[in-house]
């Protein structure tokens, strides 16, 4: 069963973007091409374009400008996954060349990939078979700091406390 990721980031960011428009739902290649045409500077052949993405609760890919907050892209809703996505367009069409689960607002697990793959297959657009860079997040039980795990060291970057082995970023 898929995990729903609630926003766990800064409340200040949530409030600052509360009235921003949600990301654009992409259900076809033509919708993606329209979004790219409206949201990118003139791209040269085989150019790449980065965007913020979420997979919404209906399983659709939603994208926004790369500088957008994930919570805004999600329309302030929970998501099935989130991160950054990199499209490349050549004479054979657009494809996803890189994709990560980097979102400190939702802290999705690498295990959220199947939901992303389903959303991309629905469009359909060629894509890697997993996140090209996977991030692992943990919340420190001692100081409440969100951490990105590096080198498999489960130690809080703020207070040096041990971090749990399992995902715990949501606030219960």
pLDDT means over runs of 10, the chain (172 residues): 92 93 96 90 71 98 96 97 93 91 98 98 97 98 96 97 96 60
Please tell me the pTM assigned to this model: 0.93
Instruction: Specify the pLDDT at position 45.
Output: 57
Instruction: Specify the pLDDT at position 24.
Output: 98
- How far is residue 110's CA from residue 136's CA, in Å, rounded to a whole number? 7
Tokens representing 76 are: 């302030």
Instruction: Specify the pLDDT at position 7.
Output: 97
Burial 96-121 (b: 16+ CB within 10 A, else e): bbbbbbbbbbbbbbbebbebbbbbbe
Instruction: Specify the pLDDT at position 57.
Output: 97
Instruction: Specify the pLDDT at position 92.
Output: 77
Instruction: Specify the pLDDT at position 84.
Output: 98
Looking at 2-138, list the stretches that DSSP marks H as alpha helix, in order from N- to C-terminal side: 11-16, 29-39, 70-73, 113-122
């Amino acid at each position: 069963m898929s995990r729903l990721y609630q926003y766990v980031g800064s409340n200040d960011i949530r409030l600052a973007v509360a009235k921003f428009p949600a990301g654009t739902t992409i259900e076809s290649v033509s919708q993606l091409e329209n979004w790219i045409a409206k949201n990118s500077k003139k791209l040269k052949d085989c150019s790449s374009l980065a965007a913020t993405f979420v997979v919404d609760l209906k399983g659709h890919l939603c994208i926004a400008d790369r500088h957008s907050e994930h919570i805004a892209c999600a329309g302030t809703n929970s998501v099935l996954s989130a991160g950054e996505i990199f499209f490349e367009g050549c004479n054979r069409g657009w494809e996803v060349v890189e994709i990560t689960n980097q979102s400190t607002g939702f802290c999705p697990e690498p295990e959220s990939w199947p939901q992303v793959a389903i959303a991309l297959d629905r469009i359909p657009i060629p894509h890697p078979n997993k996140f090209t860079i996977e991030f692992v997040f943990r919340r420190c039980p001692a100081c409440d700091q969100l951490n990105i795990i590096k080198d498999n060291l489960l130690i809080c970057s703020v207070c040096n406390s041990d971090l749990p082995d399992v995902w715990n970023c949501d606030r219960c």
